[in-house]
Structure 1
């Protein structure tokens, strides 16, 4: 599995946070806030895989661009960045030793925790 950071997704997440399209929620809330399979499928049907992929910090080159399996480490609900999603991505990337994704998620985490 060749998982690497999606620079495009990282830049998109930073832009969303700068625009205020973020939820500063608690660490353990990701299971409640992440999009359901149905929501993901509806999003893909409406906007396509290119837009869908922006919501994932990791890309697995073993899969094609039109497969959900290609996209790893979600950070938002397909509308807003969620702090709990960023933290989940950061922790899982660290566990799996994806240093580039861990560092990117930590950066986003810092942006979300920074006082406005």
Structure 2
């Protein structure tokens, strides 16, 4: 009964904790909410005003990683109803701009790839 117990400690990355705490369907739910957001008419009209093609933006959203989708879904959820649409569209615009500059996509004709 008097056997010594051994304990060990190690650093756990935040990503491991977040993934363990997240429900299994949360990524699929986040993707569904983001796709529903981009399917809205007011969002599509705002993207057209900013010069972003809706089909190209949807293709880029489909190619986003799970972490990017969760972050974008969080921004959509935090936005006031009908108020922060331009902020989210600006976020997508910046993502598309960066991917164009890095050479992953070719959405905007005014960018040059660094590759």
TM-score by length of 1: 0.29
Higher strand share: 1
Q: Name the structure, 1 or 2, with higher relative contact order (CA <8 Å, separation 6+).
A: 1
Higher helix share: 2
TM-score by length of 2: 0.29
Structure with max Cα Rg:
2
